[in-house]
Chains A and B, each alone.
Chain A
Amino acid sequence: SQQGEEDPQALSIQEGENATMNCSYKTSINNLQWYRQNSGRGLVHLILIRSNEREKHSGRLRVTLDTSKKSSSLLITASRAADTASYFCATDGPGSGTYKYIFGTGTRLKVLA
Chain B
Amino acid sequence: DVKVTQSSRYLVKRTGEKVFLECVQDMDHENMFWYRQDPGLGLRLIYFSYDVKMKEKGDIPEGYSVSREKKERFSLILESASTNQTSMYLCASSPLGVRAWGEKLFFGSGTQLSVL
Contact = CB atoms under 8 A, between A and B. Distances in A.
A20 to B, nearest CB: 19
B27 interface: no
Given A2-B42, A31-B101, A92-B99, A101 B33 contact: yes
B86 interface: no
Contacts of A101: 33, 45, 105
B interface bracket (residues with beta carbon within 8 Å of A): 20 to 34
A interface bracket (residues with beta carbon within 8 Å of B): 20 to 34
Contact of A99 (B43, B50, B109, B110): B50
A1 interface: yes
A42 B35 CA distance: 11
Nearest to B35: A103
B57 to A, nearest CB: 10
Contacts of B109: 41-42
Given A31-B102, A92-B99, A99-B94, A105 B40 contact: yes
Interface of A: 1-2, 30-31, 33, 35, 40-45, 48, 50, 88, 90, 92, 96-106
